[in-house]
Structure 1
Amino acid sequence: MKHLKIHIVLLLCVAIFTLSQCKPEPKESNPPTSVGTPAPITPPVGFPAMNIPADNPQTVEGVELGRHLFYDKKLSADLTISCATCHEQFRAFSDVDQVSTGVNGKIGRRQAMALFNLVFQEEFFWDGRAQSLEEQSLHPIVDPVEMDNTLTVVISRLEADSAYPSMFKAAFGDTKINEERIGKAIAQFERTMISAK
């Protein structure tokens, strides 16, 4: 009888130990929010390390979506300007005016910065107030002297557009359109603007 109790206690100890070692599979803390075809950037020789967040890898589809958003006037309140209005491609994505002009002729506070080699930067805007390109890309949309829009309106316009849902699906895996994905796509496109001359 005494040996039986010892065996039962030992079996219980082994069972408890075994169960304590069973752990659920860890959940991925930050699952990738991009899907698609990788589009790695090759920096010119001698350039610093690139600043590409792990949760926003460069993809062909993400860059293409970002390019469309960059040139789309739907981002502005009155549908008259896009990012490219103040960052003109033929001027190295810069603005010739000393102070940029927003919707309804509103005069801004500063000249729009030239957009090149942003993939090597860690702070954005003249005063460095944005800590990521994803964050920076949304500011002009809501700035009252730039595009003077709301992200809610922008999202509604993009959802109503026949092309954008499928472009977001190609870039991010489903048709959901939100401010995070808008910022990520524009950032991916802007990171491709590299000048080594």
Structure 2
Amino acid sequence: MRFQVKRVSILAVIVGGFASLVSCCERTPNRSSKSLPTPETDPLAQPKSLQQVGLPLELTRATIPADNPQTPEKISLGQKLFFERQLSADGTVSCSTCHDPKLAFTDRKTTSVGIEGRVGQRNAPTVLNATYNKTQFWDGRANTLEEQAEFPIVNPSEMGCASLDAAVAQIARVKGYQEAFQHVFGHPPNASDLLRAIASYERTQILFDSPFDHFVGGDKNAIDASAKRGWELFNTQARCNKCHALTETERDTTLFMDNDFHNIGIGIIRHNVVALAGQAEKLVNSSDKTAIDRLAIQHDMSVLGRFLITKQEKDTASFKTPGLRNVLVTAPYFHDGSQETLWDVMDHYNKGDGVHNPWLDEDIQPLALTENDIDDLVAFLASLTSGPYKQQGVAELARQRAISRTSRPQRDTARAFGPKAQQPEPPK
């Protein structure tokens, strides 16, 4: 099977509601285009409709930059490029290797694996709803999806190309790509248009329409009593809304993130953060984003998080608050993939952490959550699973629950029900 980069190739998406995102698009040259090899045809990989319960329509439209308007042809080309392994140095890795639609656009690995089996330092975040992020990557080192798309292609531990131009040269030899770029952009393949096409496709991966959305929309039976209790705990005793909401006073039923960075106590004990911060202060040029990208993926300095970009002490070992939609099917968790289940995540927060962490976020404290409370919070998080991943969610919840009944490495009941630990002072 082969596909063509033309409007009829994604007619179903347009009919389904995506047309409103492209109705004011740039015009593309009306040139004939021969077939390219078929991109991934899994239904989970296709552009998503705007007709979803809970989807913020105006906000979604506002995420599309003026200098890269959506067109069906560009999205179709971007989808092909997203799955194109020839964008890697040895032809083995594509964007979809670490962001597999079958796995909710993650790879379900602790940290991602690139060419020649090279293992990175960071867990692959989902592409789903990435269009709403104010910054990209766990440390916010990219401001746009276009900027983000470049770094993995040229990172030696990911796709490994010597340069973006070298990656373009590999696909520019393919006649189908020559014709597709000419059709979409009016000229041969080049680096900036490569990134624009990939980002355009990624912006179509918007997913809502979960049981929780139907509950908020008025169907009081859409989620069970446990999930309802979890939603209340989320906004009160569990203090999740301190980071997973735009404000602490108004409940967030849309994106569940604050567009900020926090030190939540992950990796502090396993790494000598003080020494690494001292090295970074002296050696790292925070304006060199390529160097920052390589440290984030290849070096122990990865644990410094946002500090690599800002050099501000308050950002030491701080990482971006992720959204929570489809969180059940994007395990393992946190920037380093160190927690296997949502029960582990809740145990980590429940004990308050901070014993060895001078930079711990002020909102992290013991929560005194009971086992029933934690089960309810997990039930709420599971209710954020969108329809296309419903069956995966059922299986994953059962898997995680089974693990939680025999293995809870983060559980510390004494600390969870005790006073907040005395934090050490930051080093002078």
Does 2:122 correspond to 1:114? no
- Inter-partner Cα distance in structure 2 for 1:119 and 1:43: 17
**Structure 1 stretch 144-153 or stretch 126-135: which is displaced more?**
144-153
Q: What does 1:10-49 align with in structure 2 at a 5 Å threshold?
A: 35-36=27-28, 42=50, 44=52, 45=54, 47=56, 49=59
Structure showing greater relative contact order (alpha-carbon pairs closer than 8 Å, 6 or more residues apart): 1
For residues 81-136 of structure 1, the C-alpha deviation after alignment (integer angstroms, 9 at most, x for no partner) is 11111111111111110110000110111011111112222210011110000100
**Percent of pairs with identical residues:** 38
- Inter-partner Cα distance in structure 2 for 1:163 and 1:35: 20
Asked if the contact 2:145–2:199 (Cα under 8 Å) also holds between the matched residues in 1, the reply is yes
Q: 1:68 aligns with which of 80, 90, 94?
A: 80
By how many angstroms is 1:43 displaced? Answer: 7.0
Query: How many residues were matched structurally?
Result: 163
Moved over 2 A (4+): 33-37, 41-48
Distance 1:46 1:147, change over 3 A: closer
Asked if the contact 2:55–2:207 (Cα under 8 Å) also holds between the matched residues in 1, the reply is no
For residues 109-167 of structure 1, the C-alpha deviation after alignment (integer angstroms, 9 at most, x for no partner) is 10111111122222100111100001001110001110010212211112101110111
Does 2:165 correspond to 1:155? no
Asked if the contact 1:34–1:172 (Cα under 8 Å) also holds between the matched residues in 2, the reply is no
Determine the structure 2 residue equivalent to 1:173.
Answer: 186
Determine the structure 2 residue equivalent to 1:97.
Answer: 109
Give the unaligned 5+ runs of structure 1.
Answer: 1-32
- Inter-partner Cα distance in structure 2 for 1:133 and 1:81: 19
For residues 8-51 of structure 1, the C-alpha deviation after alignment (integer angstroms, 9 at most, x for no partner) is xxxxxxxxxxxxxxxxxxxxxxxxx95339x9x73744526131
Choose 1 or 2 for highest CA Rg: 1
Aligned to 2:156, the other structure's residue is in SS state coil
Q: 1:134 aligns with which of 139, 142, 146?
A: 146
**Structure 1 stretch 120-129 or stretch 99-108: which is displaced more?**
120-129
Asked if the contact 2:147–2:195 (Cα under 8 Å) also holds between the matched residues in 1, the reply is yes
Aligned to 1:166, the other structure's residue is in SS state helix
For residues 166-185 of structure 1, the C-alpha deviation after alignment (integer angstroms, 9 at most, x for no partner) is 111121122x2211101100
Asked if the contact 1:35–1:172 (Cα under 8 Å) also holds between the matched residues in 2, the reply is no
By how many angstroms is 1:188 displaced? Answer: 0.3
Q: What does 1:73-88 align with in structure 2 at a 5 Å threshold?
A: 73-88=85-100
Give the unaligned 5+ runs of structure 2.
Answer: 1-24, 30-46, 211-428
Distance 1:139 1:35, change over 3 A: farther
Asked if the contact 1:87–1:115 (Cα under 8 Å) also holds between the matched residues in 2, the reply is yes
RMSD: 2.2
Determine the structure 2 residue equivalent to 1:8.
Answer: none
User: TM-score, structure 1 length as denominator?
Assistant: 0.76
- Inter-partner Cα distance in structure 2 for 1:131 and 1:143: 18
Determine the structure 2 residue equivalent to 1:7.
Answer: none
Distance 1:46 1:192, change over 3 A: closer
Distance 1:146 1:34, change over 3 A: farther
- Inter-partner Cα distance in structure 2 for 1:104 and 1:54: 38
Distance 1:105 1:124, change over 3 A: same
Asked if the contact 1:34–1:171 (Cα under 8 Å) also holds between the matched residues in 2, the reply is no
Q: 1:189 aligns with which of 201, 204, 224?
A: 201
Distance 1:113 1:163, change over 3 A: same
1:141 alignment partner AA? I
Does 2:155 correspond to 1:143? yes
- Inter-partner Cα distance in structure 2 for 1:43 and 1:57: 20
